[in-house]
Structure 1
Amino acid sequence: MNDTTPLAAIEQDIAATATRTGRSDDAVNLIAVSKTRAADEIRPLLEEGHRHFGENRVGEAADKWPALRADYPDVTLHMIGQLQSNKAEDAAGLFDVIHTVDRPSLIKALGKLVADGKAVPPCFLQVNIGEEEQKGGCAIADIGDLLERARSASLDILGLMCIPPQDVEPAPYFALLAKIAGEHGLKRLSMGMSADYETAVMLGATEVRVGTALFGPRD
């Protein structure tokens, strides 16, 4: 009988794929996407030793995570949903990494916090890699300007993040994000979700954001 948990199986897949690409087996950070999941759904992963989680909304994270972190203070919490500029200060106080910096107004809001002497977590720039009107992320042509603005605001930019279009082969989009990151001297790539994380790892992902494959389908 195979009693491997979903978490262990995914970690094994990621490690094996990273190794095949010539990277170390711990080169990729698995972020468990816990948005809409109740605390009692999250605790089993915490008990299994997992410590990186992603949330989409500041308010939902603020409701759930203080109590969970009281028991597991070494959790790293990632903001992976679109962030409103007026929530920047709340997000900076709650999250350890922000993956969705995508416009000058948000950079300005985060930069003001830095200027005021407040801590701001490291960030990824989100790129609208498929040029989809309904999605967040900056235009590919705007990455250089946005990166310059972020650095001028003393933000710590780790790398680039994307969500490729649904129902098409994601590999070209992942490869494009990796190419753009390299052109700008950025080493980290937040890309890949439940359906395509192995492809993302093959193409250089350093962070993958997995929800359904870990927690099962949402109600």
Structure 2
Amino acid sequence: MSRSSSRPLIPALAAAGALAAGIVVTGAATAAAAPGSMLPAPLPSIASLDVERYAGTWQQVAAVPQPFNLECARDTRATYAVTAPGTISVRNDCTTWSGAPSGITGEATVTDPSTNASLQVTFPSVPFSPPEGLPNYVVTYIDEGYETAIVGDPARTSGFVLSRSGTLTGAEWQQVQDVIVDRGWNPCFFLTSPITGGLETIQPLCTL
């Protein structure tokens, strides 16, 4: 999902820092190649995102580790609110290894109005972000009840599994793994995120 004054967002709208750092997750190579290219096709978005329903608080239950969230030990979460058409406020919080709270506030802008599922996230205290209009946050899966979501950047250098409740059943974890594989990630690169009242261990998602 830190240094509250300098790191990118914790759980969901991530990837600005990951892209700037040039981090590459080798599991992305399992994605289908774009036509005429040896590179994997960009992470696909869902067909339509209801941003009003998406607003609220999400718990990070698993993620591809990122340098900017290594300080987060547990209870990593993101809170979103629609502030204007196509604009969403972002607040990310977590508990550090010392037990102290950490957080950062930013803003997300919809880059694909036809789906509302691709966005660019920026933070005033973070110097790096993609060129204006390019997404760094794609909602690639959400269940019908808007209780579980999977997001990442187009190149799959980041990936986050989000849950409203912070707890998933065995069948729900399997569904998450199936989606992650289908979208071109390797589930073994995702680590579970300890949540109070939920899964308390840190382990590769593929071992659940």
Q: TM-score, normalized by length of structure 1?
A: 0.32
Pick the structure with greater CA Rg.
1
Between Structure 1 and Structure 2, the one with more strand by share is: 2
TM-score (normalised: structure 2): 0.33
